[in-house]
Amino acid sequence: MSGPQDVGIRQRARGAPGGRASQAQSPISEPDDDHLAAYRARDGEGWSIEHVLETREASVGIVGVLTLLAFALRFYKINHPDQVVFDEVHFGKFAAHYIQREYYFDVHPPLTKLLFGLAGWFVGFDGTFKFESIGDSYTDAHVPYVGMRALPAMFGSLTIPVVYAIMKESGYSNVIAAFSACLILFDNAHIAQSRLILLDAPLIFFMSLTIYSYIRYRKLRYLEFSPAWWGWLLATGTFMACTWSSKVNGVLTVATIGIAVLIDLWDILDIKKGYSIEYFWKHFVARAVSLIALPITLYLLFFYIHLSVLTYSGPGDTFMSPAFQETLRDNELLMNSQEIRYYDHITIKHKDTKVFLHSHPERYPLKYDDGRISSQGQQVTGYAHDDLNNHWQIIPTKALPETGRGRIVRHEDIIQLLHVNTQTLLLTHDVASPTMPTNEEVTTWPKDDHSRYNDTLFHLRLVDANPGGSWKTKSGHFKLIHVPTKVALWTFPGQLPDWAFNQQEVNGKKEIAEKSTIWYADDILATEDGEVKSADEIGHTEPKKMNFFKKFGELQILMLQHNAGLIASHPYASGPFNWPFLVSGISFWTQNEGQKQIYLTGNLLGWLACTFGVAIFVGILGADLLARRRGVDPIPLPVRNRLWNSTGFFLLVWAVHYFPFYLMGRQLFLHHYLPSHLASALVAGSVLHFVLSETINYPISLRGPSTRPQPPQKADIGMKGPVVVAVFAVFMFGLFVYIAPLTYGTPGLTGEQVNARRLLNTWTLHFAAKKTDHV
Amino acid sequence: MSAGVRVRRAASPPPSLPQAAPRFPNPRHHDHLDADERRAAASRGYVPGRKSHAPGGVNLTSAEWKLLGVVVLIAFGVRLFRLSRPDSVVFDEVHFGKFASKYIKSSYFVDVHPPLAKLLITLAGFLSGYDGNFDFKDIAKVYENVPYVAMRLVPALLGVLTVPISYLTLRALDCRATTALMASLFITFENGMITQSRHILLDSPLIFFTALTVLLWTGFCNEDKHQPFTEGWWTWLALTGLSLGAVVSCKWVGLFTIATIGFGTIKQLWILLGDLRVPPRLWIKHFIARAICLILVPILFYMFMFWIHFAILTGSGDGDGFMSSEFQHTLRGRHMADTYADVAIGSTITIRHVNTQGGYLHSHPHNYPTGSQQQQITLYPHRDSNNDWRIVNGTDHGNPYTDWDVDPISYVNINTRVKLRHISTEKSLHSHDFRPPVSDVDFQQEVSAYGMPNFAGDANDDWIVEIVKGDPKDTESWKRIKTLKTHFRLRHALTGCYLFSHKTKLPDWAYEQQEVTCNKNAVMANSLWYVETSEHPNCKFPENAPRANYKKPGFFKKFLELQQVMWITNAGLTDRHNFDSRPDAWPRIRRGINFWVKDHRQIYLLGNPMVWWLSSAAVFSYIAVRGFLILRAQRGYRDFESTKVVKYDTLCGFLFVGWALHYLPFYLMNRQLFLHHYFPALYFSILLACSVFDLVTSTLRPRVRLQIAAVLLIIAVWNYVYFSPLVYGNPWTKAKCRSAQWFKTWDFSWYVRHSAYLCLC
């Protein structure tokens, strides 16, 4: 990104090293703005196809045709299949929740799902269909699914003109721009992904718009702080926020722009550019406002809408903290939560494993299999089912008033728990638990025997409670800390042997900060005066208020935790290394009747072209670096600047959207590569241009008041450009049509046809014909 | 004014005072200048002559050598003090002691670490007459008939040697003697390094070889600056390569050292590439020399270590189960007799799973507690008569279990419909529409053994042989099952699922053997089986029928297989450990590791806080200052034109890269990590701290510099003494122990308190 001044100097100094470059420059160094005229004058023929193709009218025509084709390919038979496909299970369901306004939890930010909800609402979906499993019929349930699918299809189609525009704005000719657009246009993976209710098409659309706006903004860098400059900068921020709010992966787009801006700012800071430090801060603040403050505000706004739409209790409740849950209408906590008083009989449940704290008269065996000794006390276990042995009574350790609110159990109280059936008190002590030598055994002790009184004392610590907060059923999550030894009552999904009827082990854990030590009181079964209030009597059903930022913060943390926690293996998950080579796809949907299936896989030809493009480009950069280190300048300066700054930016987009996946432990799928694939299509276009011709359109940035005019150049890729692109597009289209049955899920294929379409033997297609081996 | 003039005049010494002794009594050679003098000389335009070049640029005066001798003696004292105590197993001696026993007994084992350090320990044990009969079962088990002191001497001596190496390294990096002395004493009194080097552990050899590599590399760089391709140049380079091989043969963490040296090499080559006076041919010579010495030599060294490893471990042991059948075949005690190469209807065969090391298709007279409650089918890794199956014809109309005896020999071809009879319980391999006990999903079916003597069974016993792969040299093996050569799948005739197994263990009721199911969406690799042994009862095969056996794998194959197994095992070490920690906790020693507790005494791995924090502070101040300098450079300040800045930037930069490459990659690792993984990085950061000291005190007079160094050293030694009971396991009063617990997270006193509590009970 060196300044235009030195470009001029270097060029003049270099003279004319190669015949081609000087040839391209000479006719247009005249003060003639009409490049077409210059070309005609030089070539002597006015209407050769390649020049017609480069006119503005041709550009409009090309983009029109491409867009029409994009819509046609993405909307073709969009009603098929009329069944729930792949992740529509999730995202369709979320749309239904928006319409029903039921709270749900998901790892992705809400923008796209809100749009799906909106689309569903617009086409009259009532939200009663819950997208339970893949293959559920839409037609039977009268779901207007076509309307919902049309949304991503539209986004997917509109991505094509944006890609074209990115290439155009970056200074490539119409033909090259069309080439990059075709790589996306005829790509089976992009099409399959955008025809279904999935988040990726909107994500990719917003991502391409971000790139486009950023390039427009960069081109205005000599007209800094002009209205257009501000406009495109703000647009970059806005689209960046949309990308990020569409799917978690959008963070990578934010990172891309962040890196590009840092490089840009670093250049401004360079003393050789001659800018003052005040000037730098001015630029810095402009970017901070547009690319940090604005996106965050928008991101918050989407969550604000999300939380204001979802005001009813729904399947997402249990993920949230009790305080959060109480803000949801009809929530169970709101309906059933009541304050616990001393001497109440309650059942206690473990939050993570949902077992009741249980005890029964059987005792721990004196000696375990590994030779350790127990106290032979009464067993305390975790038991998953309702049972009389789950009842515990809360015994105070302080004097209580006769009546009134003084009898309520509060945060930080010291209590004893009496097992009602055996009339023994919960106790733990410094004896190793049955299966874990590091943890303390939990047992009980007769209530009349006061010799172990201290060991029966437990500190009731409510989670996130204020001092003096009352303990409530359902909502009052708590930890029970043993007073003398400071261990927390804990259980985990580990079974005890037969002597405890394979129930779950309960023991005292030293790591009291761990979240797995949280329990809650499930229900009050009897009170001192014998009356138990029913749900209706409790009354206060009006949802509570909670600060938006608190809710947002809680939700963000949960989203991050759950995203990192998605590590279960999936049969179609694949590693990032496979993606650029399209080693495997994802089976989205199958139907035995008619042997139909949707299999997410890209257009092999296109993907390989993209990957090849990236590889060549990296090779060019490496060769250029080496050559320059040895004092050789093989590439003319404007061309090198174009390669490093424009194509380099595309490569940055590709790398930032790709390599971080290597660091992720979560399950990964082919569709995570689609944003990178789009970037690699841009790289491939530029590389094709570089291979075809050493000329570029230059300059493409708008001239500022203080910029010196540059002798303009015009790219000339000759006739071979359109020919190569046309031939490639035809082949790509052919391959696209060939594997289209896997993309559209129709028509069905016979076993042999499936086999024939298995272009790589790593693709796991369904309905493949068995190999008929001759014996 | 006149006063100033008078001061400047040199004062003549009063004649009554004795002549002050010269700083160095033995006058040095004219060209031997220390760093200060050299710099002063350089500013006057004096360039030391070529004669002055000492090998590797390590330019020590004889007084310094004596000083170094004293330092080594101190290190001896500090590290070998009561090496025999405790006389019981400490921490990971459990593993490494055990491995030494296994080397001596030559019983095969698999460990995640390469063999060099373990071999050295074994050698020490072997030379002192250890017979390998001690089991190192638990921490604090008392040693009996183990020359454990000799074994502990290996890491301890290497730990002692690290001290002079650090001195020489800093001297070679052109630091002052004071600085180098400070670094070597810091390392001498670093409690963590002492603790680590006093026991049978791998980290002390690792640190030693890392330090050695850095020294040799520094020497090479000095030689390279002086004149390339001299004899000395080659020696230093080759030694660097050997030392690199040694680092990576101690622990894989040594790869970070390789990365550090690699980084330095690339930088050197890049600079060389930019020097247009260097013709391409010469550059290529530079490149090839480095490629040979720094890539090829370490690889050969590493492989040689494994060659020794295999040469020693020739017998079967508890590591067998990790290895492939071919590999196991090379071990004494796991050797398999030749078996018939053909499989015919009626043959008694054993069947192995290809993709996992689960073992043989197995059944035993115990039933599933779930599903059909029929007899269990599992994979069992050891040889056993319960692995024997008879393969019989499934299309036979008579009684297939007896007819084979009368019918003529017919081989098992593609698409042959077979039944498999478990010989000892007389039941057949069977599958049906029940979910398997563990993999409870709808595309998996239970596999059981079903039937009874004299009962022909039903069609659910029928399996169809699908041959997937044969031996490329034996076309027959693609058409019919041949022992060891043919990989086949077994398709269940009625439901179309494939016999399948995966790395999932069954619960206690099946003795934790591996689960076998019938899978409708079977992954190819996990549904492949092969016949390991085949025999035909009643001698139906002719006497001269072809026999087969495993092909003995060569060294390379064994080497590569072991690397793979080590990698997988290493990546699988993800369980939590009581004392594991994450990398962010290391630079601030958030918590140590409890090594050993017995009789109110404890060994607890904890660093010397002063040394540790000083070095971390140096690292972070380097980052801050360097960042600031970059910003200044961008704004046109010419800091980097000062030779002092450039010198210290190169020096600190090299050490910082070493620190970063030995530390940051741990953030990417998911396996369990411990404080002692930080020690190589700590070594770099201590050197970095001392170079920063060198820079900060560069304008001071030597005496003041020495005084500052002395103060720092006194604090460090005090810290060492203060925490030394944790190093040596010396008795400690409760009050002192409690007061030494500066942070709640230093959980050593817990044990003391806890055991005291137990005693009171």
Nearest residue on chain B to A430, judged by CA atoms?
B758
Position A12 scores a pLDDT of 38
Nearest residue on chain A to B668, judged by CA atoms?
A663
Q: Tell me which of A275, A492, A630, A664 to substitute to probe the interface with B (most B C-beta atoms closer than 10 Å).
A: A630
Look up residue A134 and give its amino acid.
I
Min Cα distance B402 → chain A (Å) is 26
Q: How far apart are CA A12 and CA B247, in angstroms?
A: 55
pLDDT-derived band of residue A24, with 50, 70 and 90 as boundaries? very low
Min Cα distance B653 → chain A (Å) is 22
What pLDDT, in 10s, does the model give residues A44-79?
A: 445 677 778 888 889 999 999 999 999 999 999 999
What pLDDT, in 10s, does the model give residues A469-480?
A: 888 888 788 888
Q: Which residues of B fall within a CB distance of 8 Å from A430?
A: 757-758, 761
Is the CB of A629 inside 8 Å of chain B's CB atoms?
A: yes
Of B274, B415, B636, nearest to A271 by CB-CB distance is B636
- Of A88, A79, A95, A119, give the one whose Cα is nearest residue A198: A88
Residues 617-646 of B with CB under 8 A from A: 631, 634-636
Query: DSSP 3-state assignment of A86?
Result: coil
Contact B415 A773 (CB under 8 A): yes
Contact A266 B413 (CB under 8 A): no
Nearest residue on chain B to A270, judged by CA atoms?
B634
Query: Does residue A764 register a pLDDT over 60?
Result: yes
Is the CB of A663 inside 8 Å of chain B's CB atoms?
A: yes
What pLDDT, in 10s, does the model give residues B718-735?
A: 999 999 988 998 888 777
Q: Which residues of A fall within a CB distance of 8 Å from B756?
A: none
Position A698 scores a pLDDT of 82
Is the CB of B760 inside 8 Å of chain A's CB atoms?
A: no
Contact B668 A571 (CB under 8 A): no
Q: Which residues of B fall within a CB distance of 8 Å from A271?
A: 634-636
Average pLDDT, rounded, for chain A: 85
Position B600 scores a pLDDT of 76
Residues 338-397 of B with CB under 8 A from A: none
Query: DSSP 3-state assignment of B395?
Result: coil
Q: Tell me which of B489, B578, B629, B634 to substitute to probe the interface with A (most A C-beta atoms closer than 10 Å).
A: B634
Contact A571 B521 (CB under 8 A): yes
Is the CB of B454 inside 8 Å of chain A's CB atoms?
A: no
Contact A630 B761 (CB under 8 A): no
Residues 172-211 of B with CB under 8 A from A: none
Of B273, B467, B479, nearest to A630 by CB-CB distance is B273
pLDDT > 90: what percent of chain A? 41
Nearest residue on chain B to A510, judged by CA atoms?
B578
Nearest residue on chain B to A628, judged by CA atoms?
B274
Q: How many CB pairs under 8 A join A and B?
A: 33
Q: How far apart are CA B689 and CA B682, in angstroms?
A: 10
Those residues of chain B that have pLDDT short of 50 are 1-22, 25, 27-28, 30-31, 48-51, 751-761
pLDDT-derived band of residue A539, with 50, 70 and 90 as boundaries? low
Position A162 scores a pLDDT of 96
Tokens of B506: 């069954």
Distances (CA, A) of B460 to B56, B433, B449, B519: 77, 10, 11, 15
In 3-state terms, chain B is what percent helix, strand and coil (to 5)?
50, 15, 35
What pLDDT, in 10s, does the model give residues B662-711?
A: 999 999 888 888 999 999 999 999 999 999 999 999 899 999 999 999 99
Is the CB of B578 inside 8 Å of chain A's CB atoms?
A: yes
Of A269, A631, A775, nearest to B276 by CB-CB distance is A631
Distances (CA, A) of B565 to B96, B294, B557, B671: 19, 26, 12, 15
Q: Which residues of B fall within a CB distance of 8 Å from A629?
A: 270, 273-274
Nearest residue on chain B to A485, judged by CA atoms?
B754
Enumerate residues 6+ apart whose C-beta is below 8 A from B288: none
Min Cα distance B493 → chain A (Å) is 14
- Of A621, A381, A401, give the one whose Cα is nearest residue A503: A381
What pLDDT, in 10s, does the model give residues A211-262?
A: 999 999 999 988 989 999 999 999 999 999 999 999 999 999 999 999 999 9
β-partners of residue B636 are none
- Of A761, A749, A742, A716, give the one whose Cα is nearest residue A26: A716
A530-541: average pLDDT: 59
Query: DSSP 3-state assignment of A257?
Result: helix
Q: Are A382 and A356 in contact (CB under 8 A)?
A: yes
Q: Are A485 and A429 in contact (CB under 8 A)?
A: yes
Nearest residue on chain A to B479, judged by CA atoms?
A775
Contact A773 B634 (CB under 8 A): no
Q: Which residues of B fall within a CB distance of 8 Å from A373?
A: none
Enumerate residues 6+ apart whose C-beta is below 8 A from A531: none
Whole-model pTM? 0.80
Of B578, B757, B761, nearest to A438 by CB-CB distance is B578
What is the largest distance, in Å, between two alpha-carbon atoms of chain A? 114
Nearest residue on chain A to B667, judged by CA atoms?
A663
Q: Which residues of B fall within a CB distance of 8 Å from A509?
A: none
- Of B186, B148, B189, give the one whose Cα is nearest residue B167: B186
Position A704 scores a pLDDT of 81
Tokens of B533: 């042994």
A279-283: average pLDDT: 93
Of B273, B276, B635, nearest to A269 by CB-CB distance is B635
What pLDDT, in 10s, does the model give residues A134-154?
A: 888 898 888 899 999 999 999
Is the CB of A72 inside 8 Å of chain B's CB atoms?
A: no
Q: How far apart are CA A317 and CA B59, in angstroms?
A: 72
Q: How far apart are CA A568 and CA B632, in angstroms?
A: 49
Min Cα distance B723 → chain A (Å) is 26
Q: How far apart are CA B112 and CA B543, in angstroms?
A: 46
Q: How far apart are CA B752 and CA B745, in angstroms?
A: 15
Position A271 scores a pLDDT of 87
Position B706 scores a pLDDT of 93
Contact B631 A269 (CB under 8 A): yes
Is the CB of A270 inside 8 Å of chain B's CB atoms?
A: yes
Q: Is the dihedral of CA A427, A429, A433, A438 positive or negative?
A: positive
Contact A271 B635 (CB under 8 A): yes
Position B539 scores a pLDDT of 63
Min Cα distance B572 → chain A (Å) is 14
Q: Which residues of A fall within a CB distance of 8 Å from B576?
A: none
Contact B273 A626 (CB under 8 A): yes
Q: Are B490 and B522 in contact (CB under 8 A)?
A: no
Q: How far is CA B314 from the centre of its chain?
A: 22
pLDDT-derived band of residue A774, with 50, 70 and 90 as boundaries? very low
**Of A494-503, A646-655, B260-269, where does mean pLDDT reach its minimum?**
A494-503
Query: What are the structural domains of chain A?
Result: 53-306+579-757 (no CATH), 342-527 (2.80.10.50)
Q: Tell me which of A375, A485, A574, A629 to substitute to probe the interface with B (most B C-beta atoms closer than 10 Å).
A: A629
Tokens of A473: 């059923």
Is the CB of B276 inside 8 Å of chain A's CB atoms?
A: yes
Angular region, A343: left φ>0, alpha ψ -120 to 50, beta rest = left
H runs (alpha helix) in B189-230: 191-197, 203-226
- Of A739, A756, A613, give the one whose Cα is nearest residue A682: A613
Q: Count other C-beta atoms under 10 Å from residue A16's C-beta.
A: 13
A113-130: average pLDDT: 91
Counting DSSP H helices and E strands in chain B, the numbers are: 23, 16
Q: Count other C-beta atoms under 10 Å from residue A6's C-beta.
A: 12
- In degrees, rounded to 5, the angle at the alpha carbon of residue A255 between the alpha carbons of residues A251 and A261 is 145
Look up residue B71 and give its amino acid.
V
Query: Which of the 8 DSSP states describes residue B18?
Result: P
Residue A368 phi, psi dihedral angles, 5° rounding: -85, 170
Position A541 scores a pLDDT of 66
Tokens of B537: 């009862």
Position A151 scores a pLDDT of 94
Nearest residue on chain A to B413, judged by CA atoms?
A775
Query: What are the structural domains of chain B?
Result: 62-310+581-740 (no CATH), 339-546 (2.80.10.50)
Query: Does residue A494 register a pLDDT over 60?
Result: yes
Position A532 scores a pLDDT of 63
Tokens 């009389």: give the residue: A388
Contact A269 B521 (CB under 8 A): no
